[in-house]
Amino acid sequence: MSDIIRPPKTSPGKIYSSISIESRDFSKNINKLERKKQNYYVIFCKKIYNKFPSLGNNSSFRPDLKNAVDFLNWDLSGKEYSATLKFILFFGIFLTGLISYLIYLFGYDLLFSLFDIIIMPIIITFILPIFIFIIIYINFQNYPLKKVQSEKILALTFVPEILGYMIMSMKLVPNLEKAIEFASNHGHGKIADDLKKLLWEVKVGIKNSVSEGIDELAYKWGEVSTEFKKALMKIRSSVIENSEAKRYQILDQTMSETLKSIKEKLEDYARSLAQPAMGIFYLGVLLPLLLIIVLPVGSAFSGSALAKPIYLILIYNIIIPIGCLFYAKKIIRNKPSTYRPPKIPDNYPKLPPKNTIKIGKAHLHIGILIIIVSVILIAGSVFLQSEFGQTKKSILIQSGYITDSQEISEADFYCTKAEQVEKAADSEFKCASEQEFWARSENDITPHYIIYGMLILISLLISIVLYSQSKYKREIQLETEKMEDEFKDALYVIASRLGENKPIEDALSHTKNFLPKALISKNIFGKAIDNIRVLGLNLNSALFDPSYGALKNNPSNLINSAMRLLVDSVQLGVSVAAKTLMSYSLQLRNTDEVSKMLRDLISSVTTTLKSMSKFIAPIVLGITTALQKIVISTLYSIANSNTMEDMTSAIEGVKDGVSAIGVNVNASSISSMGSIDTTVISQLASPTAFLIIVAIYVIQVVIIITFFTTMIEQDNITLAKLNIARTLPIATILFIITTILANMIF
């Protein structure tokens, strides 16, 4: 019968034998001293100096670099830095010269054949390597300063956290050393590391007292975070207050002033974000639209084919995307991170097998899905192109130039029927060039169906890969974030029960029953209670045991840190734990206010950028493809008209009139300046080549803008991948629809 209860396959003895307990095994050398990991920049400098010590003789830091290295606590001397800088200079000059020589030796002829502007091969061969070397050299030289700047931005995240821990401890026990130890053990970032170093220096006698170390730390961080400096001084002054009420008042005032200062900085950042966001729009959307008008016109009047395919590829698919990407990443680096989303590892238990997508209850490998999608789109595109697409022969047959049985030959196919009659009457009449004939909208032979099919295929393949990498991780992130929100409410319930001198297991059990539908109750509190009551584990093992702990595989740093705080504070008594949790919940509430304020401030900018990546950019770039045909056709019309001849005649007629006042007019030179050479126009990108170039650019710019928007909202690479996977197909289809409609209208 199905109701029969079967015994477990494993015995209780095996279950209990797998439980890990806290014990100090000195044979494993758990408490061994470990050398602090050096920054890769410092390691590289030391290696170079050890090999070439003479390069660093009689060298020292600049004052600003010295301050930066001291602030970062890097074990780096001026000799090591200078030796490495000189090595990069000498080796970079040698490598740059070698690269330029190799390009000149093996690729210069190819570059000269690709670019009809003489300066372009020179730029690529000589100027570009030098430019790249200068960028690398300057970035290496100023890396310590940039690192300090990044720490300044991170301070907006870590300062409230560190101060919150210190104030919590000071309210319980007004002892600076205990407060610093508590904050350094539970805090994050460089501030926590500096606090640990301060305690170590006091214990070994480098510093005479904690107060002395606090003063030095305050002035060290003064240039980076003025609010942290002021807060440290106030926390130190609270120690000498005899009245507990006054001490609490000073500590609360310190926290409120710090949060106010940070909020003001975040408001300044949000206000300064509007202009860079519009810069992304100008650089990524409007500039390509302007260039498609400027480049062909400039080509026609300058005599240089500036809109050749190679130039458009260089501009649209290399220079502008790289410029947008670096510009976006620079803005992202300056964004203060107020919330750190949970990171989901690839081996997380709830994730499906790698590179698979759920379809119902089954898992389909993305390789199979990619093959299916590719076959369908490629076959469909080829079929549609063969059935409905136009070819050279079909256009000539429709125009009456040849019959179905005739083959295409280099005859007078590039004249209209009226022009053929005129040519028969006038032997000097010239038909349109081949390029001009096929540039006409009615003679469009662009393989639209194949290009559109390939464009959709590429966007779908990118979306499938990114979707499989991010969809299920994002679901776990959302579940974890929901647990974090529930946990903030649960802290009040736990603290209230502990305040009644109830044991911790009763407090957890009460919270579980009080919030029965909450994920935090089912996934963490329930498991912890079972571990305590059934397996007999203590609180620490019930939560953190690697085999049975309730927090096993929990990706939330917020929940893990809070429960570690609970374990540490319970050891000091339930009343202390209650006060600690109440203070911590207040700290979380303050952090939420700051995060919400920043989201509200930048929401207008991010909303604009989202619509830009999904709608505006594809529509504008789709119109651009139609404008290119209009510009080229217009240039051909101007070149074949009598406009230039009329201009020259007019200038000749005016010449005699203005010569009387001493003005010498050269009509031939002026007319040559305004002449248009059809051979130059014929070298410009064809509609097919231009459509492919712009289609690739659409994919690039949508990915960049979507990535930028997501990272501005939340520093979450998983969410960025998922947003790209969702936005890219929509933007691609919208670009195709806009291109079709624009070609029909124009």
Task: Report pLDDT for 675.
Answer: 60
58 neighbors 134 (Cβ within 8 angstroms) = no
Assign residue 189 a region (left: φ > 0; alpha: ψ between -120 and 50; beta: otherwise).
left
Task: Report pLDDT for 731.
Answer: 95
CA distance 521 to 124: 63
Sign for the pseudo-dihedral over CA of 679, 680, 685, 687: negative
Whether residue 706 is contained in a domain is answered as: no
632 neighbors 681 (Cβ within 8 angstroms) = yes
- C-alpha separations of 234 from 167, 176, 182, 192, 737 in Å: 11, 12, 18, 18, 63
Could you give the 3-state DSSP secondary structure of residue 555?
coil
219, 250, 272 - which closes a domain: 272
Highest-confidence range of 203-217, 290-304, 581-595, by mean pLDDT? 203-217
Whether residue 81 is contained in a domain is answered as: yes
Quick one: 137 and 221 in the same domain? Answer: no
CA distance 163 to 255: 7
Which phi and psi angles does 531 have, rounded to 5°? -65, -35
Tell me the HSE value of 698 on the side-chain side, using a 13 A CA sphere. 35
Angle between the N-to-C axes of helices 687-713 and 320-333, in degrees from 0 to 180, rounded to the nearest 10: 0
Residue with tokens 């019959």: 403
Quick one: 173 and 257 in the same domain? Answer: yes
590 neighbors 710 (Cβ within 8 angstroms) = no
Task: Report pLDDT for 653.
Answer: 46
Percent of the chain with pLDDT over 70: 84
pLDDT in tens, 533-583: 888 899 999 999 988 899 988 999 889 988 988 888 888 788 888 888 888
Residue 377 vs residue 223, higher pLDDT: 377
Whether residue 488 is contained in a domain is answered as: no
Quick one: 113 and 170 in the same domain? Answer: no
- C-alpha separations of 390 from 47, 441, 446 in Å: 64, 12, 8
Could you give the 3-state DSSP secondary structure of residue 229?
helix
Section 656-680 average pLDDT? 50
Task: Report pLDDT for 5.
Answer: 44
Whether residue 341 is contained in a domain is answered as: no
Please check the confidence at residue 663 and state whether its pLDDT lies above 60.
no
Task: Report pLDDT for 435.
Answer: 66
Which phi and psi angles does 362 have, rounded to 5°? -90, 165
Could you give the 3-state DSSP secondary structure of residue 283?
helix
Residue with tokens 């502008």: 320
Residue 423 vs residue 67, higher pLDDT: 67
Whether residue 121 is contained in a domain is answered as: yes
Whether residue 112 is contained in a domain is answered as: yes
SS (H, E, C) 651-697: HHHHHHHHHCCCCCCCHHHHHHHHCCCHHHHHCCCCHHHHHHHHHHH
Please check the confidence at residue 16 and state whether its pLDDT lies above 50.
no
Burial class (CB in 10 A: 0-12, 13-18, 19+), 86: middle
Q: Please tell me the least confidently modeled range out of 82-91, 116-125, 408-417, 473-482.
A: 408-417
Task: Report pLDDT for 106.
Answer: 87
Residue 656, token pair as written in the block: 């005699």
Q: Please tell me the least confidently modeled range out of 87-96, 135-144, 193-202.
A: 193-202
CA distance 735 to 613: 11
210, 237, 272 - which closes a domain: 272
Quick one: 117 and 210 in the same domain? Answer: no
- C-alpha separations of 519 from 376, 486, 516, 523, 569 in Å: 43, 8, 8, 6, 24
How many structural domains comprise the chain? 2
Quick one: 91 and 154 in the same domain? Answer: no
Section 575-601 average pLDDT? 83
Residue 660 vs residue 293, higher pLDDT: 293
499 neighbors 575 (Cβ within 8 angstroms) = yes
Residue 529 contacts by C-beta under 8 Å, 6 or more apart in sequence?
Answer: 505, 508, 509, 512, 542
Quick one: 49 and 98 in the same domain? Answer: yes
CA distance 233 to 239: 10
Burial class (CB in 10 A: 0-12, 13-18, 19+), 152: middle
Q: Which is nearest to 234 in space by CA: 215, 209, 216, 210?
A: 215
Task: Report pLDDT for 300.
Answer: 75
- One-letter amino acid at 170 equals M
Whether residue 248 is contained in a domain is answered as: yes
Q: Please tell me the least confidently modeled range out of 185-199, 293-307, 351-365, 400-414.
A: 400-414
Please check the confidence at residue 459 and state whether its pLDDT lies above 50.
yes
Quick one: 167 and 137 in the same domain? Answer: no
456 neighbors 705 (Cβ within 8 angstroms) = no
- Domain of residue 188 covers 146-272
Quick one: 161 and 247 in the same domain? Answer: yes
Quick one: 163 and 220 in the same domain? Answer: yes
Please check the confidence at residue 668 and state whether its pLDDT lies above 50.
no
pTM for this entry: 0.83
Confidence band for 647, pLDDT divided at 50, 70 and 90: very low
Residue 550, token pair as written in the block: 């309730």
Mean pLDDT, rounded, of the chain: 82
Residue 269, token pair as written in the block: 């950042």
- C-alpha separations of 487 from 364, 482, 583, 585 in Å: 36, 9, 14, 9
225 neighbors 159 (Cβ within 8 angstroms) = yes
Quick one: 150 and 242 in the same domain? Answer: yes
CA 567 to chain centre: 38
Residue with tokens 């256009």: 395
Quick one: 230 and 175 in the same domain? Answer: yes
Confidence band for 36, pLDDT divided at 50, 70 and 90: low
20 neighbors 547 (Cβ within 8 angstroms) = yes
β strands within 251-386, DSSP E? 356-359, 362-365
CA distance 507 to 510: 5
Whether residue 168 is contained in a domain is answered as: yes
Quick one: 112 and 153 in the same domain? Answer: no
Residue with tokens 């081996």: 347
Please check the confidence at residue 150 and state whether its pLDDT lies above 70.
yes
253, 272, 291 - which closes a domain: 272
Task: Report pLDDT for 430.
Answer: 58
How many C-beta neighbours within 10 Å does residue 488 have? 18
pLDDT in tens, 319-369: 999 999 988 888 888 888 777 888 998 889 889 988 899 888 888 999 999
CA distance 437 to 392: 11
Residue 337 vs residue 655, higher pLDDT: 337
Please check the confidence at residue 652 and state whether its pLDDT lies above 60.
no
